[in-house]
Amino acid sequence: MTDSTDRISLATRLRNNFLTGLIICAPMAITIYLTWTFIHWADSWVKPYLPDRYNPEAYLKFAIPGTGLLIAITFITLVGFLGRNLIGRSIVGYSENILNRMPLVRTVYKSTKQIFETVLKEQGNSFKKVGLIEFPRAGTWALVFVSSDAKGEIAAKLNENGEEMVAVFLAPTPVPTAGFLMFVPRSKLMLLDMTPEEGVKLLISAGLVTPDYKPSAADTMAAFAELAAEDRPAPPQKVGLS
Protein backbone atom coordinates (compact mmCIF):
# COMPACT_ATOMS: atom_id res chain seq x y z
CA MET A 1 0.00 0.00 0.00
CA THR A 2 2.84 2.34 0.87
CA ASP A 3 4.73 1.57 -2.35
CA SER A 4 1.62 2.25 -4.42
CA THR A 5 1.03 5.54 -2.59
CA ASP A 6 4.66 6.56 -3.09
CA ARG A 7 4.44 5.78 -6.80
CA ILE A 8 1.27 7.87 -7.17
CA SER A 9 2.85 10.70 -5.22
CA LEU A 10 6.01 10.55 -7.34
CA ALA A 11 3.98 10.54 -10.58
CA THR A 12 1.95 13.51 -9.33
CA ARG A 13 5.08 15.46 -8.46
CA LEU A 14 6.63 14.69 -11.85
CA ARG A 15 3.46 15.79 -13.64
CA ASN A 16 3.27 19.02 -11.62
CA ASN A 17 6.93 19.75 -12.28
CA PHE A 18 6.42 19.14 -16.01
CA LEU A 19 3.39 21.46 -16.13
CA THR A 20 5.27 24.14 -14.20
CA GLY A 21 8.20 23.89 -16.58
CA LEU A 22 5.83 24.02 -19.56
CA ILE A 23 4.22 27.19 -18.24
CA ILE A 24 7.66 28.76 -17.87
CA CYS A 25 9.25 27.57 -21.11
CA ALA A 26 6.37 27.69 -23.59
CA PRO A 27 5.71 31.47 -23.45
CA MET A 28 9.44 32.21 -23.63
CA ALA A 29 9.95 29.85 -26.58
CA ILE A 30 6.94 31.22 -28.48
CA THR A 31 8.06 34.81 -27.86
CA ILE A 32 11.61 34.09 -29.05
CA TYR A 33 10.31 32.24 -32.10
CA LEU A 34 7.90 35.01 -33.13
CA THR A 35 10.55 37.70 -32.57
CA TRP A 36 13.15 35.77 -34.56
CA THR A 37 10.65 35.12 -37.36
CA PHE A 38 9.71 38.81 -37.56
CA ILE A 39 13.38 39.86 -37.70
CA HIS A 40 14.11 37.43 -40.52
CA TRP A 41 10.97 38.56 -42.36
CA ALA A 42 12.10 42.20 -42.16
CA ASP A 43 15.62 41.27 -43.26
CA SER A 44 14.29 39.33 -46.26
CA TRP A 45 12.43 42.44 -47.44
CA VAL A 46 15.17 45.00 -46.91
CA LYS A 47 18.50 43.27 -47.58
CA PRO A 48 17.89 42.39 -51.27
CA TYR A 49 17.56 46.12 -52.06
CA LEU A 50 20.55 47.18 -49.96
CA PRO A 51 23.73 47.95 -51.98
CA ASP A 52 26.80 45.93 -51.02
CA ARG A 53 28.73 49.06 -50.04
CA TYR A 54 26.13 49.77 -47.31
CA ASN A 55 25.63 46.16 -46.26
CA PRO A 56 27.76 45.24 -43.22
CA GLU A 57 27.58 41.56 -44.12
CA ALA A 58 29.62 42.25 -47.28
CA TYR A 59 32.58 43.21 -45.08
CA LEU A 60 32.08 40.89 -42.12
CA LYS A 61 31.32 37.79 -44.25
CA PHE A 62 28.65 36.53 -41.83
CA ALA A 63 24.97 37.25 -41.33
CA ILE A 64 23.86 39.84 -38.77
CA PRO A 65 20.21 39.26 -37.82
CA GLY A 66 18.22 42.45 -37.49
CA THR A 67 20.24 44.57 -39.91
CA GLY A 68 17.35 44.94 -42.33
CA LEU A 69 14.93 45.76 -39.51
CA LEU A 70 17.26 48.43 -38.13
CA ILE A 71 17.71 49.98 -41.57
CA ALA A 72 13.94 49.95 -42.17
CA ILE A 73 13.28 51.71 -38.84
CA THR A 74 15.99 54.30 -39.60
CA PHE A 75 14.63 54.90 -43.10
CA ILE A 76 11.02 55.30 -41.92
CA THR A 77 12.13 57.69 -39.16
CA LEU A 78 14.15 59.75 -41.65
CA VAL A 79 11.18 59.93 -44.05
CA GLY A 80 8.98 61.08 -41.18
CA PHE A 81 11.50 63.77 -40.25
CA LEU A 82 11.70 65.04 -43.82
CA GLY A 83 7.93 64.90 -44.21
CA ARG A 84 7.43 67.35 -41.33
CA ASN A 85 9.29 70.26 -42.96
CA LEU A 86 8.29 72.42 -45.91
CA ILE A 87 10.41 70.70 -48.56
CA GLY A 88 9.35 67.23 -47.44
CA ARG A 89 5.66 68.16 -47.44
CA SER A 90 6.03 69.52 -50.95
CA ILE A 91 7.60 66.26 -52.15
CA VAL A 92 4.91 64.19 -50.41
CA GLY A 93 2.18 66.38 -51.88
CA TYR A 94 3.61 66.05 -55.38
CA SER A 95 3.84 62.25 -54.99
CA GLU A 96 0.25 62.06 -53.74
CA ASN A 97 -0.95 64.07 -56.73
CA ILE A 98 0.67 61.52 -59.04
CA LEU A 99 -0.92 58.60 -57.16
CA ASN A 100 -4.35 60.29 -57.15
CA ARG A 101 -4.31 60.38 -60.95
CA MET A 102 -4.01 56.61 -61.24
CA PRO A 103 -7.48 54.98 -61.33
CA LEU A 104 -6.83 51.80 -59.33
CA VAL A 105 -3.82 52.91 -57.32
CA ARG A 106 -5.53 55.99 -55.86
CA THR A 107 -8.28 53.89 -54.28
CA VAL A 108 -5.78 51.57 -52.60
CA TYR A 109 -3.59 54.48 -51.50
CA LYS A 110 -6.42 56.56 -50.03
CA SER A 111 -7.91 53.60 -48.16
CA THR A 112 -4.55 52.51 -46.75
CA LYS A 113 -3.60 56.04 -45.74
CA GLN A 114 -6.93 56.60 -44.00
CA ILE A 115 -6.57 53.37 -42.04
CA PHE A 116 -3.04 54.20 -40.88
CA GLU A 117 -3.98 57.78 -39.99
CA THR A 118 -6.93 56.57 -37.93
CA VAL A 119 -5.03 53.84 -36.10
CA LEU A 120 -1.78 55.74 -35.49
CA LYS A 121 -3.19 59.19 -34.82
CA GLU A 122 -1.83 60.34 -31.46
CA GLN A 123 -4.99 62.18 -30.44
CA GLY A 124 -7.32 59.39 -31.54
CA ASN A 125 -9.44 57.36 -29.15
CA SER A 126 -9.67 54.24 -31.31
CA PHE A 127 -9.68 50.98 -29.39
CA LYS A 128 -8.81 52.66 -26.10
CA LYS A 129 -11.91 51.33 -24.35
CA VAL A 130 -13.39 47.88 -23.84
CA GLY A 131 -17.05 47.14 -23.28
CA LEU A 132 -19.79 44.54 -23.27
CA ILE A 133 -22.86 44.26 -25.48
CA GLU A 134 -25.70 41.76 -25.49
CA PHE A 135 -24.84 39.39 -28.34
CA PRO A 136 -26.04 37.19 -30.02
CA ARG A 137 -29.23 37.53 -27.93
CA ALA A 138 -30.46 39.29 -24.82
CA GLY A 139 -28.95 37.88 -21.63
CA THR A 140 -25.62 36.83 -23.19
CA TRP A 141 -22.76 39.30 -23.31
CA ALA A 142 -19.83 39.63 -25.73
CA LEU A 143 -16.58 41.55 -25.31
CA VAL A 144 -16.08 44.40 -27.80
CA PHE A 145 -13.51 47.12 -28.45
CA VAL A 146 -14.91 50.62 -28.79
CA SER A 147 -13.82 52.20 -32.07
CA SER A 148 -15.49 55.61 -32.32
CA ASP A 149 -18.84 57.37 -32.52
CA ALA A 150 -20.90 56.77 -35.64
CA LYS A 151 -20.15 59.42 -38.24
CA GLY A 152 -21.24 60.53 -41.67
CA GLU A 153 -24.13 58.84 -43.41
CA ILE A 154 -24.29 56.02 -40.87
CA ALA A 155 -24.77 58.52 -38.05
CA ALA A 156 -27.40 60.40 -40.02
CA LYS A 157 -29.38 57.23 -40.73
CA LEU A 158 -29.08 55.58 -37.31
CA ASN A 159 -29.38 58.64 -35.08
CA GLU A 160 -32.83 59.53 -36.35
CA ASN A 161 -34.42 58.28 -33.13
CA GLY A 162 -32.28 60.68 -31.09
CA GLU A 163 -29.96 58.08 -29.54
CA GLU A 164 -26.25 58.18 -30.33
CA MET A 165 -24.70 55.13 -31.95
CA VAL A 166 -21.20 53.81 -31.27
CA ALA A 167 -18.98 51.75 -33.57
CA VAL A 168 -17.56 48.66 -31.85
CA PHE A 169 -15.38 45.79 -33.03
CA LEU A 170 -16.47 42.30 -32.02
CA ALA A 171 -13.44 40.00 -32.24
CA PRO A 172 -13.60 36.18 -32.18
CA THR A 173 -11.76 33.83 -29.83
CA PRO A 174 -8.93 32.82 -29.73
CA VAL A 175 -7.53 34.73 -32.76
CA PRO A 176 -8.86 38.32 -32.59
CA THR A 177 -7.56 39.34 -36.02
CA ALA A 178 -10.95 39.31 -37.76
CA GLY A 179 -14.45 40.00 -36.58
CA PHE A 180 -17.52 42.17 -36.99
CA LEU A 181 -17.91 45.93 -37.12
CA MET A 182 -21.16 46.72 -35.31
CA PHE A 183 -23.06 49.92 -34.52
CA VAL A 184 -24.87 49.78 -31.18
CA PRO A 185 -26.74 52.39 -29.14
CA ARG A 186 -24.61 54.02 -26.49
CA SER A 187 -27.13 53.01 -23.83
CA LYS A 188 -26.67 49.33 -24.78
CA LEU A 189 -22.88 49.50 -24.35
CA MET A 190 -21.45 48.64 -20.92
CA LEU A 191 -17.96 50.12 -20.62
CA LEU A 192 -15.30 48.24 -18.63
CA ASP A 193 -12.28 49.46 -16.70
CA MET A 194 -9.87 46.94 -18.27
CA THR A 195 -7.37 48.09 -20.88
CA PRO A 196 -7.47 46.89 -24.52
CA GLU A 197 -4.35 44.80 -23.82
CA GLU A 198 -6.15 43.02 -20.98
CA GLY A 199 -9.17 42.53 -23.23
CA VAL A 200 -7.01 40.89 -25.91
CA LYS A 201 -5.50 38.55 -23.29
CA LEU A 202 -8.99 37.63 -22.13
CA LEU A 203 -10.03 36.81 -25.71
CA ILE A 204 -6.93 34.85 -26.66
CA SER A 205 -7.09 32.75 -23.48
CA ALA A 206 -10.83 32.09 -23.99
CA GLY A 207 -11.59 33.59 -20.60
CA LEU A 208 -8.86 31.78 -18.67
CA VAL A 209 -6.68 34.87 -18.10
CA THR A 210 -8.93 37.35 -16.31
CA PRO A 211 -7.46 40.75 -15.41
CA ASP A 212 -7.54 41.90 -11.81
CA TYR A 213 -10.40 44.22 -11.00
CA LYS A 214 -10.01 47.18 -8.69
CA PRO A 215 -13.27 49.07 -8.23
CA SER A 216 -13.05 52.79 -8.74
CA ALA A 217 -13.75 55.26 -5.97
CA ALA A 218 -17.18 56.05 -7.43
CA ASP A 219 -18.13 52.35 -7.50
CA THR A 220 -16.92 51.90 -3.93
CA MET A 221 -18.93 54.88 -2.70
CA ALA A 222 -22.01 53.64 -4.53
CA ALA A 223 -21.64 50.19 -2.95
CA PHE A 224 -21.32 51.74 0.53
CA ALA A 225 -24.38 53.88 -0.14
CA GLU A 226 -26.41 50.81 -1.12
CA LEU A 227 -25.31 48.95 2.01
CA ALA A 228 -26.16 51.93 4.19
CA ALA A 229 -29.59 52.18 2.58
CA GLU A 230 -30.24 48.48 3.23
CA ASP A 231 -29.15 48.69 6.89
CA ARG A 232 -31.09 51.89 7.57
CA PRO A 233 -34.19 51.14 9.70
CA ALA A 234 -37.51 51.78 8.10
CA PRO A 235 -39.27 55.00 9.21
CA PRO A 236 -42.05 54.51 11.79
CA GLN A 237 -45.51 54.39 10.36
CA LYS A 238 -48.10 56.84 11.55
CA VAL A 239 -51.06 55.24 13.29
CA GLY A 240 -54.25 57.15 13.00
CA LEU A 241 -56.65 57.45 15.96
CA SER A 242 -60.02 55.95 15.36
Which helix (DSSP H) or strand (DSSP E) does residue 96 occupy? helix 86-100
Instruction: Tell me the pLDDT tens digit for each residue of 40-57.
Output: 888 888 888 878 777 777
What is the radius of gyration, based on Cα positions, of the chain? 29
pLDDT value, residue 141: 93
pLDDT value, residue 216: 62
Per DSSP (E only), the strands in 17-140 are 129-134
Domain ranges of the chain: 129-212
50 DSSP assignment: S
What gap in Å lies between CA 113 and CA 120, rounded to an integer? Answer: 10
pTM: 0.52
Instruction: Tell me the pLDDT tens digit for each residue of 91-102.
Output: 888 888 888 888
With a cut of 70, list the residues of the chain below it in pLDDT: 1-8, 118-126, 160-161, 215-242
Cα distances (Å, whole numbers) of residue 200 to 20, 96, 128, 180:
24, 36, 12, 15
pLDDT value, residue 225: 64
